[in-house]
Amino acid sequence: MMCAMAQRVKRAFTYRFYPTPEQAEQLARTFGCVRLVYNKALEERSRAYALHGRGVSYGESSAMLAAWKRTQELAFLGEVSSVPLQQALRHLQAAFTNFFAKRAAYPRFKSRKRSRLSAEYTRSAFTWRDGRLTLAKTGTPLRIVWSRPLPEGAEPSTVTVSRNAAGRWFVSILCEDTVRPLDPVEGVVGIDAGIASLLVLSRPIPGVTDAVGKVANPRHERADRVRLARAQRALARKEKGSSNRAKAKVRVARVHARITDRRRDHLHKLTTSIVRENQVIAIEDLTVRNLVRNRRLARAVSDASWRQVRTMLEYKAAWYGRELVVVDRWFPSSKLCSACGAVAAAMPLEVREWVCAACGATHDRDVNAAKNILAAGLAER
Ligand SMILES: [Zn+2]
């Protein structure tokens, strides 16, 4: 008998909000200070690293920040909440930890143009009362569009405010939430990224895939692409430095943001259904996938989307008591007959369906690959 243990997990809930002019002004100033502190601390750390080959601790950075605030030219740092500035130092600390552990490249400066504008507030820097969120130094509660409710009794622990290139404001609220494992199911599934479809499953799931197991690209995707191409063409026609060009730029950013949002929503729905319906889920590791796939192929699933799918499957499987197996060993998934194990001689990309010479089974190329990934995953457990 399996015991369904509820677990406490941290979940982020993101909403749009509409700042008052005062809030917008204060937050924009905070973003600027966050960037400045991050860059200055990075400069100091780089100097210490270059001169003495040593790291700088978070405590030392924090003392530097206190000293900067006491100088005349940086006194304005004291006009924004100190917490987002401290958090910037913590993020830098984490970036260096990853660098020294060889998990990441050397930290880079935050540029005015390329970097995401954001500020992170921990518990001491906001109040949460009667469903109203007020950030330090902003005075009034944020006007949040509650597109979905926070979980019952949720206690926000961290709040991140950001503004994207399209000028939209978002607040991401990290909460403790209780998730309960789902009842065990019999289903097992292998997942591959298809060529003409978004994902290919080793078996069909009603309401998720078509009759053979393919998940089509969402219908809105094509229209969004057309819209993006149109916005980009309009931008290219605008004169450099003109206000019309700035407007066209915002329009392009807006379409981009919309595509990203819609894709993420779609992937959330898909991964939740897959996790619900299956006890074991097998996927191929991205590095393995890249070994096999032809880079010139117009892939239905970009590496970024695939990484998102994997991350979502990982944490949802952990929440709901499912098992995710990542197959990291290479095998000829397209050429291998999932029915008898015979390996076909060649499999040019244009071959969408084939008949195994050894056993006579007819295979859809992509579904067959997904079945092989499932078999490899089950063998690897
Ligand atoms: Zn066969």
pLDDT at 90 over 50: yes
Tell me what pLDDT residue 1 has.
41
Q: How many residues does the chain have?
A: 381
- CA gap 191, 213 in Å, rounded: 9
DSSP string, 33-99: HHHHHHHHHHHHHHHHHHHHS----HHHHHHHHHHHHHSSTTGGGGGS-HHHHHHHHHHHHHHHHHH
pLDDT at 18 over 90: yes
130 labelled catalytic: no
Q: How far is the CA of 287 from the centre of ligand 1 (A)?
A: 27
120, 177, 277, 366: the active-site residue? 366
192 labelled catalytic: yes
120, 177, 192, 224: the active-site residue? 192
pLDDT at 130 over 90: no
Whole-number mean pLDDT of the chain?
89
9 three-state secondary structure:
strand
Q: How far is the CA of 363 from the centre of ligand 1 (A)?
A: 9
Q: How far is the CA of 203 from the centre of ligand 1 (A)?
A: 18
Top mean pLDDT of 67-81, 218-232, 258-272 is at 67-81
- Helix, strand, coil % over all residues of the chain, rounded to 5: 45, 20, 35
Q: How far is the CA of 339 from the centre of ligand 1 (A)?
A: 5
- CA gap 216, 324 in Å, rounded: 23
Report, as an integer, the average pLDDT of 256-276. 90
pLDDT at 299 over 60: no
Tell me what pLDDT residue 302 has.
67
Percent of the chain with pLDDT over 90: 59
> What radius of gyration do the chain's Cα atoms show?
25
120, 177, 277, 284: the active-site residue? 284
Single pTM value for the model = 0.74
Tell me what pLDDT residue 298 has.
45
Tell me what pLDDT residue 289 has.
56
Q: How far is the CA of 284 from the centre of ligand 1 (A)?
A: 22
327 three-state secondary structure:
strand
pLDDT tens per residue across span 337-365: 999 999 998 888 788 899 999 999 999 98
Q: How far is the CA of 282 from the centre of ligand 1 (A)?
A: 21
List the beta bridge partners of residue 158. 122, 174
Distances (CA, A) of 255 to 221, 237, 279, 308: 11, 17, 37, 20
152 labelled catalytic: no
Q: How far is the CA of 325 from the centre of ligand 1 (A)?
A: 25
Tell me what pLDDT residue 358 has.
94
pLDDT at 291 over 90: no
Q: How far is the CA of 343 from the centre of ligand 1 (A)?
A: 8
- CA gap 23, 354 in Å, rounded: 62
Q: Which of 148, 125, 149, 128 is nearest to 138 (CA)?
A: 125
* Pair of tokens at residue 279: 């006890």
Q: Give the pLDDT band (50/70/90) at residue 162.
A: very high
Q: How far is the CA of 371 from the centre of ligand 1 (A)?
A: 13
Tell me what pLDDT residue 103 has.
83
What is the number of H-type helices and E-type strands within the chain?
8, 13
Q: How far is the CA of 252 from the centre of ligand 1 (A)?
A: 49
pLDDT at 93 over 70: yes
Beta strand residue intervals within the chain, DSSP E: 7-16, 117-122, 126-129, 132-135, 156-163, 169-179, 188-192, 199-201, 214-215, 280-284, 323-327, 353-355, 362-364
pLDDT at 295 over 50: no
Contact indicator for 320, 307 with CB cutoff of 8 Å: no
Q: Using CA of residue 326, residue 328, residue 334, residue 340, what is the dihedral sign?
A: negative
